Amino acid sequence: MEELRVLIADDDTGMRSVMRKIIAKVEGFALVAEAGDGRTAIELVEKLKPNVVFLDVEMPEMSGVECARAIQDMNPAIIIIFATAHDTYMGDAFEVYAFDYLVKPFKVERVIQTLERARD
* Kind and range of the H or E run holding 42: helix 38-48
Residue 100 CA to residue 50 CA, distance in Å, equals 17
Percent of the chain whose pLDDT exceeds 70: 99
Confidence class for position 114, pLDDT limits 50, 70, 90 = very high
- Choose the weakest-confidence range: 15-19, 24-28, 89-93: 89-93
Give the pLDDT score at 88: 82
Q: What is the mean pLDDT of the segment spanning 24-38?
A: 97
Give the global pTM: 0.94
